[in-house]
Amino acid sequence: MTGHVPVLTAEVLHQLRPEFGGVFVDCTVGLGGHSRVLLAAGAARIIGLDRDAEALDRAREALAPWLERVELVHADYRSIEAVLDRLGVAVVDGALADLGVSSMQLDEPGRGFSFQRDEPLDMRMDRSAGETAADLVARSSERDLADAIFQYGEERHSRRIARAIVDARRQSPIDTTGRLAAIVRRAMPHRGWMRIDPATRTFQALRIWVNRELEGLDRFLEAAARRLRLGARLVVITFHSLEDRIVKHTLRALERSDVAAMKVLTKKPIVPTDEEVQRNPRARSAKLRAAERII
């Protein structure tokens, strides 16, 4: 748990109102930071989902004082309805999805999310299934690599980077974070000091691609809305513009739904205060949006 600080906790509590009790779904329970805060504030029961089995083990430790009120499930957040059906839960009093990568995933050696260390190029949130980033880099065409780096990383030099990756893999496999980062840096035009490392956007793109982070996000929000009790709220925290855009447009569309209509409570996203960013620099890009079920 060292180094893990959940973001926007005061704002999450304000929106979800756990002091009245009730059942809440933490759709991305991670290391249990937000669930711990909700339980301490009065939530009667937490159903926590995560596709990272190692994160669930850490969450179980963090939530030990409340385990009789917690159900932890190894599942993707997009499986929310199937999980609730299996548990016999028809509706809930609130749902939370923190879509960021956890501090454990970034910091733990061997996960391959960061280029701060040279390690296997994995990047899977669920290490029990699916292709690694090294697999994608090895098998994808130059065009597919360029498209993914541009679409998911919003990297305008995506074609140069993809060409460099394809040239380099002809020499030897690109199976470590250090080798990939070095290839990307060499491919970028040199223009003096840069605010972020030149490899940052490419690593973001591969992580999103490997974990299908944008796939089905809109359908998840619709499913979560359907399982909210009347007056219950959905809170979503995003960390990059691609996710935030999907959340914003889907919540707006749900305002017009005649099945599970939602009222958007955050016309503009809530962002961390300067004080929170100073305490926790990883909160810097967080944006919170919330909506309440009204039909």
- 8-43 pLDDT, tens digit per residue, is 999 999 999 999 999 999 999 999 999 999 999 999
Can you give the pLDDT at residue 2? 43
Q: What average pLDDT does the segment 172-200 reach?
A: 91
Structure tokens at 53: 């089995």
Query: Virtual CA dihedral for 7, 13, 14, 19, nearest 10 degrees?
Result: -170
Ranges in the chain annotated CATH 1.10.150.170: 110-211
Distance CA 197, CA 249 (A): 30
Q: Residue 285 pLDDT more than 80? A: yes
pLDDT at 3: 52
Please, which contacts does 82-86 make with residues 24 or more away whose CB atoms are closer than 8 Å?
83/47, 83/49, 84/25, 84/47, 84/227
Contact 28, 97 (CB under 8 A): yes
Position 287 pLDDT exceeds 80: yes
Residue 199 has pLDDT above 90, yes or no: yes
Percent of the chain at pLDDT > 90 equals 90
State yes or no: pLDDT of 107 exceeds 70.
yes
**Residue range(s) occupied by CATH 3.40.50.150 in the chain:** 9-99+214-293
Whether 289 shows a pLDDT value over 70: the answer reads yes
Q: What is the pTM of this model?
A: 0.94
CA torsion sign, 210 to 55 to 57 to 21?
Answer: negative
Give the confidence band of 192 by pLDDT, cuts at 50, 70, 90. low
Superfamily, domain 9-99+214-293: Vaccinia Virus protein VP39 (3.40.50.150)
Query: Residue 1 — pLDDT band, cuts 50, 70, 90?
Result: very low
In the prediction, which pLDDT does 190 show? 78
Confidence label for 193 from pLDDT (cuts 50, 70 and 90): low
- Give the residue from 219, 220, 227 showing the smallest Cα distance to 93: 227
* Tens-digit pLDDT profile for residues 161-178: 999 999 999 999 999 999
Give CATH for domain 110-211: 1.10.150.170
Convert the pLDDT of each residue in 113-150 to its tens digit.
999 999 999 999 999 999 999 999 999 999 999 999 99
On average, the pLDDT of the chain sits at 95
